[in-house]
Amino acid sequence: MNKMTTTVQQFYLLMEGKLSPALSGKYFDAINPSNGEVFAQMADADSIDVQMAVSAARLGFDHGRWPQMGMAERGEFLIKIASLIRENAKELADLECASTGKTIKHTTFIDVPTAAEAFEYFGHLPGNLVHETVRHSAPVLSTVQREPVGVVVAIIPWNYPLIMTAWKLAPALLAGNCVVLKPSPTACASVMLLAKLAAQAGLPKGVLNIISSSRPEAGQELVSSPEVDMVSFTGSTKTGEAVMALASKGIKKLTLELGGKSPNIVFADCDMEAALGGALSSIFMNQGQMCTAGSRLLVEDKIYQEFVEKLVARAQNLKIGPADNFETEFGPLVSIEHRNIVLKFIEKGKQEGAKLACGGNVPNINPKGAYLEPTIFTHVRNTMSIAQEEIFGPVLCVMPFTSADEAIHIANDTKYGLAAMVWTKDLEKANKVARRLRCGTVWVNTYGAFLNEVPFGGYKQSGFGRELGLTGFWEYTQIKHIATDQTPGGKSLVTSWF
Ligand code: NAD
């Protein structure tokens, strides 16, 4: 934390509909993990800024027009934000790349368009969705409608800042809530540019507040505020536990999108090229820093050796380098601190008896960057900590299996339940296996197919609640039944009981 002294780009908080520095005037550095350089400075919200953001949302909800507007009118603001995202796509992709270390190819072709598409999908949802059913049991007319929850606090992690922001803001705002969003201080520059675009979209005062803060307490302050009605949290399972405890005070509505240790099950009758590509992408895209990373690869023993040899060869061929180069396939991790945590897991894996088939070292690219080789462990037992803990880095644990039952047993033998992959040409078998896997998403002969229409979320300690789809939209609503006796003055059974 320091006073602004350099000329790098500065980003402000979005409070009460306008951009402003933190009250203290403090900023914190945004560091590019490709080279260790400071590329931006972020306004650093203190406790007072956090309180002001929540109060602005409270006022916006209790006294503003937003909750009363029709869905179509609110949807127009979302469409406007989407078009501003598309107009500023390059700057957003550059910032997402500089803050996370995700390759520029990834941020350009996945993160920015996916964020815009989420705003477009929710922005175009038909308004009649909030009136669920109407039943006329004469003389009483019953209507059931969905209403906004109130003030929503949205907290997101550093691995997909733009997409996570869009997945939370679009449905929460469409439902008529007023929102305070807090990105992770580790990577928040793209989100604070999005805050600027949201201000340009002209959302009414207090409807959306976005605050960056280097203080670990900022999230706790938001979740604990008595002015908040709902918390929508995405992050690690450990932090999710703390958030759940804090949200219990005041009985706040809560959704938790947490960690994963997803199994990738490869049967001998798979299309090997496709399965190799899927296995590689699922653990080495975004340098393995994905909640749905296929970090446990289960390969049927008949093809185990051939599959692992081919996979190792392909992992060793990935082009590692600075994330802003379009040729780079594998950039740095998000920070040197995070890389050190991943390196400790690698050491632990070796001590536990797993064998390094490739990687495990810091490549000679830039000592100030957070680089790490794609790493594959064989001779892994599912009880080892590298097979049970979410490493959140490019570290793959490979294990053989002999039968579908055994694969399913290993796959489910984890505290997590976010996603799984199954590779086989036998779709009947795939379907049977998919039904027995205890997780929120199963991808068959594919990986990472996220659709705006389809809910995404976890089983077990991967959390509860869903993002995306109508289910994701409904998370941000509560249900009201209005029963009206339509006879003048009311003459129903209840009023004539005594
Ligand atoms: P994290 O849990 O450390 O932090 C997430 C967010 O919570 C950050 O904004 C952080 O500042 C904030 N925070 C920290 N302590 C808090 C507290 N006590 N109260 C409230 N907020 C607090 O996670 P991370 O390291 O930023 O991200 C990686 C994790 O996110 C991984 O576990 C990954 O699996 C998970 N993740 C899950 C999904 C999903 O959809 N299930 C998606 C992306 C990432």
Give CA–CA dist 251/244, Å, rounded. 10
Does ligand 1 come within 6 angstroms of the Cβ of 181? Answer: no
User: Is the CB–ligand 1 distance for residue 223 below 6 Å?
Assistant: yes
- Which residue(s) pair with 358 in the sheet? 376
Phi, psi (5° rounding) for residue 36? 75, 5
352 as an active site residue: the answer is no
- What spacing in Å lies between the alpha carbon of 222 and ligand 1's midpoint? 14
Greatest pairwise CA separation for the chain in angstroms:
87
pLDDT tens profile 54-99: 999 999 999 999 999 999 999 999 999 999 999 999 999 999 999 9
231 CA to centre of ligand 1 in angstroms: 13
CA of 174 to the centre of ligand 1 (A): 24
Could you tell me what percent of the chain has a pLDDT over 70? 96
The SS3 call for residue 135 is strand
Q: How confident is the model at residue 130 (pLDDT cuts 50, 70, 90)?
A: confident
| Tens digit of each residue's pLDDT (9 = 90 or more) over 194-238 | 999 999 999 999 999 999 999 999 999 999 999 999 999 999 999
Measured in angstroms, how far is the CA atom of residue 238 from the centroid of ligand 1?
A: 9
Whether the CB of 260 sits within 6 Å of ligand 1? yes
Strands (E), 222-354: 230-234, 253-257, 263-266, 296-300
Q: Does the beta carbon of 390 lie inside 6 Å of ligand 1? A: yes
pLDDT at 446 over 80: yes
Amino acid at 9: Q
> What confidence tens digit (pLDDT) does each residue in 141-198 have?
888 899 999 999 999 999 999 999 999 999 999 999 999 999 999 999 999 999 999 9
Work out the mean pLDDT of the chain and round it to a whole number: 95
User: Which residue has the CA at smallest separation from atom 42 of ligand 1?
Assistant: 291
| CA of 159 relative to ligand 1 center, distance in Å | 9
243 Cβ inside 6 Å of ligand 1: yes
pLDDT of 426 strictly over 60: yes
Phi, psi of 276 (to 5 degrees): -65, -45
CA distance 280 to 32: 25
Closest by Cα among 414, 408, 456 to 434: 408
Confidence of residue 132 (pLDDT cuts 50, 70, 90): low
Residue 288 has pLDDT above 90, yes or no: yes
Three-point CA angle 305, 329, 331, nearest 5°: 110
CB burial of 79-91 (b: ≥16 within 10 Å; e: otherwise) equals: bbbbbbbbebbee
pLDDT of residue 4: 44
Answer yes or no: is pLDDT of 6 > 60: no
For range 289-311, the mean pLDDT: 98
pLDDT at 1: 44
Helix axes 112-123, 89-100, angle to 10 degrees: 120
Whether the predicted pLDDT of 133 surpasses 80: no
For the Cβ of 242 lying below 6 angstroms from any atom of ligand 1, the answer is yes
Beta-carbon contacts of 389 under 8 Å, excluding residues fewer than 6 positions away, are 261, 345
Looking at the CA of residue 240, tell me the nearest atom of ligand 1: 2
- For residue 493, the model assigns a pLDDT of 62
351-380: per-residue pLDDT in tens? 999 999 999 999 999 999 999 999 999 999
Sign of the alpha-carbon torsion through 460, 465, 467, 470: positive
